[in-house]
Amino acid sequence: MPIESLLVNTFNGLYFAALLFFASVGLTLVFGILNLLNMAHAAFYGLGAYVAVWTLNNAGDVTTSTVVLLAMLVLVIPLVVFVLSAVLDKTVFAPLYEIEHVYQLLATFGVILMLDDVIKFIWGASPITVDGATDPSRQLGAIDLMGVSVSAYRSFVILIAVACAVGLYLMFVKTKLGKISQAMSEDYEMVQMLGINVNRVRVLIFSISVAIAALGGALFVPFATATPAVTLEYVLLSFAVIVIGGLGSLKGVVVAALVIGMVRSFGIAYFPALELAIVFGLMALVIIFKPEGLFGDEGVVE
Amino acid sequence: MSTRLPTFGDMKAQELKGLLLDKRLLGGGVLFAALALYPGLTMNAYHTRLLAWIMCFAIAALGFNIVLGYTGLLSFGHAAFFGTGMYTVVIAMESAGITDLIVLLVLAMLAAGVVGAVIGALSVKTHEIYFALLTLALAQLLYVLAARDVGGLTRGTDGIGLSRPDFLGIPISEAPAHIYLMGFYYHVILVCLFATIAVLWLVLRSPFGLTLKMIRENETRAEMSGVPILRYRLYSMVLSAMIVGLAGALYAVVVGHVTPEYLDWTMSGEIVFMALLGGIGTFLGPIIGASGFIILQEVALGVTTYWHFTMGLVLFVVVLTLREKGIWGGAKALVDDLNERRDDS
């Protein structure tokens, strides 16, 4: 049935888009607000994936309750990574804010290499998967959506992504932190001169951004294996997303994640050999014809 | 007549004498001789292989540095040229039945030059990170096409095995593998490396090279003085691509197996790493960087399986401390500094 396959592919596209959104939104925020081009950003997506597999596989002795497992994926892991990234921002990343973008790109390429080995050191180089007993995607099973059976877990991931996007939007529009961040993306030095502690804002924005990437990785593993290659794949895809959306734009990330998610989903179904080629082709076309991206010449939330 | 006018012959002799006494040229000659004799004297196949490997990447890093060090553009897509060089050799041998090394190397340079012209033409208008991201995207496009075997030329991720090419009709490929490498192929790479050094030395000191530097230092001024900036950037991309393609072609025979990995962006990252490690602001830096990178990798691999961490840390520290100077520029600065202090006291 063509209508059914259209629905299934659209649903899968939304799921891919949700993962891409988690992996890349922080990259664009850190660039737009803090002026740091962090190539290693998606490595935290990979880290989140590994932490989640480890957590789920060790949770079996204590509990197999779906709610507890989901809470660990959505709340505990991002919180742990939040604290970790606050420490990293003060140490490893601190000197990077002072140097040119091109050197930031190179130094954070070094960070990717380091994180890659830290992950291999802790969890080994071979792919690991979540045990069936503590796999929330199996526990939740399938639901019926307009006559098509889809994974309840994937629907949950899509909902979390929507909640996360709305939450970020509200944070930028309603809270003081969000308003200061917007001001910092306009004129960093002016904000500093107004007596606002920019370093504290920097740590918060950086840690929130990295924690969202880890959240994405954590939500990704019940359906996929954690491998060291995940990091490298998402580094590239997240760059494609933020370039197409426009560097520094929240709306851009949402739209570009949807575009690439749909391209992947329909590409896998109809042109499996060309699916990734279309993504990189799109990325190249955007830089050639519209380097500022779809929404890059606007502010973070406009 | 008491004063004797200097004749043309005298001038020539003096110039020649000056040239011979030039420290750099003398050092280069001694190094060339030492490297050329090394495999024959030591008969160490492992060292020969390592040196061949280093020299291939020294050529790649030198070629890459035309774009980063001299034109001031960071390309994250040079794996496209390296991989094109490799694939040209293997495909030309397999499909066209060409077995002469010289023909293969020329073909690889031409093919890489064409890819360089296409990627260059599309990307020279962009700046800084956009240039880096665009070259990354275009090279990755090539990688995906090769990995998925679109067009049926590359046999996907399995790659293609490679037999040894002949030289000027001599069936040298029939020699045993270590003799082929130690007695012949190693020296081909050595000659290519020194030829690359000589060509780049001349090109970068020619009006063309000086114009590239002018564009890097002050684009607006260059434009005002009537320099067609985009065209010069394109030329530098093509030249760079051809040299990196040559390096890839040479390396293909050393490893004997070509896979899409060599087109992947991590390969581009390694080439950038080598140039940066040695010093992109210096002429010889990329060679030092390629040697340092490969030796470091070998040493780190011998001690621990976690060599990525070591390499990442080195890259991070080099970027933060030495920047464009790299190891070579840093060492030069240190020597100058010490000399100055000695002169003062």
Domain boundaries, chain B: 27-263
Residue keyed to tokens 């050999």 = A273
Tokens, residue B55: 């020299």
Domains of chain A: 2-289 (1.10.3470)
Q: B263 — contact with chain A (CB < 8 Å)? A: no
Bridge pairing between strands B257-258 and B160-161: antiparallel
State whether residue A69 is helix, strand or coil: helix
B209: nearest Cα among B229, B227, B234, B236 = B236
**Nearest chain B residue to A95, by CA:** B320
Contacts of A143 (CB under 8 A, 6+ apart): A149, A150, A151, A152, A155
Contact A87, A200 (CB under 8 A): no
Contacts of A235 (CB under 8 A, 6+ apart): A39, A40, A41, A42, A43, A112
Contact B285, B279 (CB under 8 A): yes
Q: B146 — contact with chain A (CB < 8 Å)? A: no
List pLDDT tens digits, range A143-171.
Answer: 887 778 888 889 999 999 999 999 999 99
Q: Quote the minimal CA–CA distance from B126 to chain A in Å.
A: 8
**Nearest chain A residue to B151, by CA:** A273
Are A101 and B129 a contacting pair at CB < 8 A?
yes
What is the per-residue burial (b if ≥16 Cβ within 10 Å, else e) of A34-48? bebbbbbbbbbbbbb
Separation CA A16–CA A240 (nearest Å): 14
CB proximity under 8 Å: A 206-265 to B = 232, 236, 239-240, 243
Are B306 and A121 a contacting pair at CB < 8 A?
yes
**Interface ipTM:** 0.89
Over its length of 345 residues, how does chain B's per-residue pLDDT go in tens digits? 444 544 445 556 666 666 666 777 888 888 888 888 888 788 888 888 899 999 999 999 999 999 998 888 899 999 999 999 999 999 998 888 888 889 999 999 999 999 999 999 999 988 878 999 999 999 999 999 998 887 778 888 888 888 888 787 777 777 777 777 877 889 999 999 999 999 998 998 899 998 888 888 888 888 888 888 899 999 999 999 999 999 999 999 999 889 999 999 989 999 998 998 888 878 888 999 999 999 988 888 888 778 888 889 988 998 888 877 888 888 888 888 888 888 776
